[in-house]
Amino acid sequence: MGWNKTGSTVKGLYLFEYPVTGKVVETYVRYGGTVSYHVQLDEPLFLFGSTRDLVILDEKQITHDFGVIENASISG
């Protein structure tokens, strides 16, 4: 997958320690050329006394990129 992961579902390690899964809502190229991702979490993360539903991961913290997952409806 490319560097722009907006819309992709990813799995990663927030702060290189806490496993998270969610959808990338924004992709940014930071000063110096590194890339960061704003990830809307599938399940909130309670950490350091507060709940987070959105985290920022850098490219080294992404462990899996599942691509864009469309909601499929089953009609019958």
Give tens-digit pLDDT for 26-72.
999 999 999 999 999 999 999 999 999 999 999 999 999 988 877 65
Amino acid letter, residue 18: Y
75 pLDDT higher than 70: no
A 10 A CB-CB count for 47 gives 13
Residue 68 has a pLDDT of 83
pTM: 0.85
1 pLDDT higher than 80: no
Question: For residue 31, what are its two tokens?
Answer: 């000063």
CA dist 62 and 16 (Å) reads 9
Residue 51: enclosing H or E segment and its boundaries? strand 50-58
